[in-house]
DNA sequence: GAACGAGTCAACGGGGTGTCGAGATACGGG
DNA sequence: CCCGTATCTCGACACCCCGTTGACTCGTTC
């Protein structure tokens, strides 16, 4: 249990592996971050808070992570991996019809982020301060957009959906809506759609946008 | 030209009026903020930068504004006033048909924020750090949502639009999409819809969401 | 038991915020 | 003309946070 197996957590994101008791400390930092994020925003959490929460001093924190953002990034890697896995499973599994397919995809997307509420909110917040966080978000967004654009094009090709704006642009607009609506619902800031109405409303807009013809 | 007339700029937002040369300093600070925001993000601008840009020392800055956020808030008041005026004009003026009405509203909305690109981007950024900024945003969002929800309900009442999700929820979802798509387009972060395609794509989604029936 | 590497932290330097209190400056009235 | 008052200004301070350095403690290995 000391070494041997490949590191199970956070494969990428360039950080030196640490062995022996170091792993415990690292996990303690991550757990502290996740716990503190439940009660306050990322900007209200200092490196000192994370260090003390993990039972170490501030300089020692820097032995494990290069910055506060890196901790968030490591935490986000897990969520992203989970989201990608869920997304892949949903898109690849057969569905009774397009309506059900989109419905399942939306519900899975929402569920993933809802089960990591604090992290999702912190993600959105850190996007404006950390380039790495912004990049990670852009990657995830791009993957989702491409999947959706492909699906839209497929529906158009088989004559199920009418022509319209470039599939990619449509996918970007609709994915942006998802993101913002979900964030508002999770963060509680400002007007938001009620929790149980999020998926139905998003679904309705997606379906009409993809399959409906505009009036006139 | 010293005093006499009511203060033309920033009527609300609780700040003590100052007369004589003080007005100049205040305006210099605002101008500096607007200028610096064109080149870097708000968090990369220090109070010292604003003070030096306006030709005063840092403590003197605090004589005019209680914080950096307050400067942004004052700047935003102008944009909000402009947006509200434009929005009111668009909604009140008669249109050839619903399509044109929505098209004009969307275009006006987009134009307002595009002509204040730097400020809009800073607004979104500061939303996560300043409660006052967040509140201002929520107010603007809420006004827009209510206008749209009312219009959707009117269309449904006259039989032009089919029944569907609560008009307010639909308005929230679509307005969220507007906001996010516009922000992405203006900030240049991550995948975005090209400048000239923003309004057409948004319009298409709005029209199908409001007037189109879902498949199946 | 010496050498080494992992882990630890007090102390430092640098940058940011917001405040305080002492001075400058302008101006109207005695 | 001079004086009081309100406006304005800033040097210096206290505080918070970040990230680094260099010395120190351990456990392991040869």
ipTM: 0.89
Q: Please, which pLDDT band fits residue B216 given cuts at 50, 70 and 90? A: low
pLDDT score of B122: 97
Interface test with B, best of A122, A134, A201, A213 (most B CBs within 10 A): A201
Q: Please, which pLDDT band fits residue B163 given cuts at 50, 70 and 90? A: very high
Q: Which among B134, B160, B209 has CB closest to A209? A: B209
Q: Does domain A21-65 have CATH number 1.10.10.60?
A: yes
DSSP one-letter code for A5: S
Q: How far is CA A152 from the centre of its chain?
A: 22
CATH of domain B68-211: 1.10.357.10
Average pLDDT over residues A80-86: 91
Whether the pLDDT of residue A10 is over 70: the answer is: no
pLDDT score of B68: 97
Residue linked to tokens 């498949």: B215
Say yes or no: do domains B21-65 and B68-211 share a fold: no
Q: Does B137 touch chain A (CB under 8 A)?
A: yes
Neighbours of B158 (CB within 10 A): 9
Long-range contacts formed by B17-25: CB under 8 A, 24+ apart: B18/B64, B22/B64, B25/B54, B25/B55, B25/B56, B25/B60, B25/B64
Task: Tell me which of B18 and A180 has the higher pLDDT.
Answer: A180
Chain C bases closer than 7 angstroms to a protein Cβ: 6-11, 15-21, 26-27
Q: Are A208 and B213 in contact (CB under 8 A)?
A: yes
The CA distance from B88 to the nearest CA of chain A, in Å, is: 21
Q: What is the residue extent of each domain of chain A?
A: 21-65, 68-211
Contacts with B138 from chain A: Cβ below 8 Å: 189-191
H helix intervals, chain A: 22-37, 47-53, 58-64, 68-92, 98-114, 117-126, 131-157, 167-187, 198-211
Q: Are A102 and A206 in contact (CB under 8 A)?
A: yes
Q: Does B145 touch chain A (CB under 8 A)?
A: yes
Q: Please, which pLDDT band fits residue A216 given cuts at 50, 70 and 90? A: low
Q: Please, which pLDDT band fits residue A174 given cuts at 50, 70 and 90? A: very high
Residues 6+ apart with CB under 8 A from B30: B9, B71, B74, B75
Q: Which among B137, B201, B212 has CB closest to A208? A: B212
Average pLDDT over residues A172-176: 98
Q: Which tens digit of pLDDT belongs to each residue from A86-116? A: 888 887 888 788 889 999 999 999 999 999 9
Q: Which among A98, A208, A216 has CB closest to B99? A: A216
Residues 6+ apart with CB under 8 A from B104: B90, B93, B95
For the ranges A22-26, A43-47, A148-152, which has the lowest average pLDDT?
A22-26
Contacts with A121 from chain B: Cβ below 8 Å: none
Q: Please, which pLDDT band fits residue A134 given cuts at 50, 70 and 90? A: very high
Distance CA A43, CA B125 (A): 13
Task: Tell me which of A21 and A187 has the higher pLDDT.
Answer: A187
Whether the pLDDT of residue A196 is over 90: the answer is: yes
Average pLDDT over residues B165-190: 97
Q: Please, which pLDDT band fits residue B131 given cuts at 50, 70 and 90? A: very high
Distance CA A121, CA A41 (A): 8
Residue A46 (CA) to nucleotide D15 (C1'), in angstroms, measures: 15
Rounded mean pLDDT of chain A? 89
Q: Does B36 touch chain A (CB under 8 A)?
A: no
Q: How far is CA B210 from the centre of its chain?
A: 24
Q: Which residue is nearest to nucleotide C16 (CA to C1')?
A: B46
Whether the pLDDT of residue B12 is over 80: the answer is: no
> Are residues A209 and B205, on separate chains, in Cβ contact within 8 Å?
yes
Contacts with B169 from chain A: Cβ below 8 Å: 193-194, 197, 201
H helix intervals, chain B: 22-37, 47-53, 58-64, 68-92, 98-114, 117-126, 131-157, 167-187, 198-211
> Are residues A174 and B177, on separate chains, in Cβ contact within 8 Å?
yes
pLDDT score of B22: 62
């Amino acid at each position: 249990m000391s070494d041997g197996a490949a590191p199970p957590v956070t494969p990428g994101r360039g950080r030196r592996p640490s062995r022996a008791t170091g792993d415990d400390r690292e996990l303690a930092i991550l757990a502290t971050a996740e716990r503190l994020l439940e009660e306050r925003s990322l900007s209200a959490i200092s490196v000192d808070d994370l260090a003390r929460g993990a039972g170490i001093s501030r300089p020692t924190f820097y032995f494990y992570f290069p910055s506060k953002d890196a901790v968030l990034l490591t935490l986000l890697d897990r969520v992203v991996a989970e989201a990608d896995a869920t997304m892949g499973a949903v898109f690849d599994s057969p569905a009774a019809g397009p309506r059900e397919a989109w419905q399942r995809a939306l519900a899975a997307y929402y569920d993933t982020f809802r089960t990591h509420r604090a992290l999702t909110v912190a993600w959105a917040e850190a996007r404006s301060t950390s380039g790495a966080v912004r990049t990670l978000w852009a990657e995830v967004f791009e993957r989702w957009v491409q999947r959706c654009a492909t699906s839209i094009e497929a529906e158009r090709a088989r004559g199920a959906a009418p022509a319209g704006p470039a599939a990619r642009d449509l996918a970007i607009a609709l994915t942006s809506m998802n993101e913002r609506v979900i964030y508002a619902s999770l963060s509680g800031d400002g007007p938001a759609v009620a929790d149980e109405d999020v998926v139905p409303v998003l679904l309705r807009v997606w379906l009409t946008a993809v399959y409906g013809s505009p009036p006139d």
